[in-house]
Amino acid sequence: MPLAQLISPQQLAERQTSAGRVILDCRFALEDPDYGRCSYAEGHIEGAHYADLERHLSGPVIKGVTGRHPLPAAQAFIEQLQAWGISVDTDVVLYDDGPGAYAARAWWLLAWLGKRDGVFILDGGLKAWHAAGFPLSLDAPVVEPGTFAGTPDNRLLLDAEQLQKRLGEPDMTLIDARAQARFRGEVEPIDPIAGHIPGAQCAAFSENLGSDGRFLPAEQLKQRFAAQLQGRPAQELVAYCGSGVTACHNLFALSLAGYPLGRLYAGSWSEWITDPKREVATGD
């Protein structure tokens, strides 16, 4: 079974109440941390639990040390997965408002802990669900604790020190999921320093999607990443972004395209700039 899998609104509607399936609503807004939780309370796909980026999908921020969304402690996240009813053989469906960045963060965390099949992202997210005419629910999900057990696979990670040592290596491809203007350092709406990590290429995560908000076909994604890789091995690719969220969207799309899973620099730009000795680049 492929690592990255999509599910359409129609497919989910047919199977949403199936036994052995857990749905996670991952909606969030960086500019309004209460947005996702409030939106969930106003209506969600029936049976969905709310997975909060800051409370569930991230660990504590240490100012001046970590990025804005450090990874959660593995055991704490495993216990949260169990609380949502997830076991090793559970099918898990993830969704957000549409672009899929927050859903992809949850997907990556599951892959990191060893859950690499039976995990789906709702293609087009809640916008596609609405467009298909399917209803929302106000009901709380039924909670039946799961038994998920996993071990973090830190081969999927690179930290700042490791990345710094590898900058300039001919086999490594470093991609930045932020928009072009942020990558170039022309604007920086969130972090105190603008620019990008030297040697990175801009691979804005939004370009993984078509005009309908759904993921591009696998062949188009393959062409997109082939242009970034230029013949270098995909398993040596390192993805980053502002805080380790939209980079997961690129890693999901890379997997959809049939490439092996690259590595995540989870601290990303917001961690990189905490050390003034680390170099910063601007422009293309």
Q: Which two tokens stand for residue 260?
A: 């092996």
DSSP 192-258: SS-SB-TT-EE--GGGGB-TTSSBPPHHHHHHHHHHHHTTS-GGGEEEE-SSSSHHHHHHHHHHHTT
**Distance between CA 32 and CA 161 in Å, rounded?**
32
Q: Of 228, 104, 261, 240, whose CA–CA distance to 176 is shortest?
A: 240
Q: What distances in angstroms separate CA 226 from CA 155, 188, 237, 265, one per listed residue?
A: 22, 28, 11, 20
- Provide the 8-state DSSP code for 156: G
- Provide the 8-state DSSP code for 159: -
Identity at 144, one-letter amino acid code:
E
> Which among 26, 38, 202, 241 is annotated as catalytic?
241
Asked if 99 and 205 touch (Cβ cutoff 8 Å), the reply is yes
Q: Which residues of 184-205 are buried (b: 16+ CB within 10 A; e: fewer)?
A: beeebeebeebbbbeebebbbb
248 noted as active-site residue: no
Residues belonging to the active site:
241
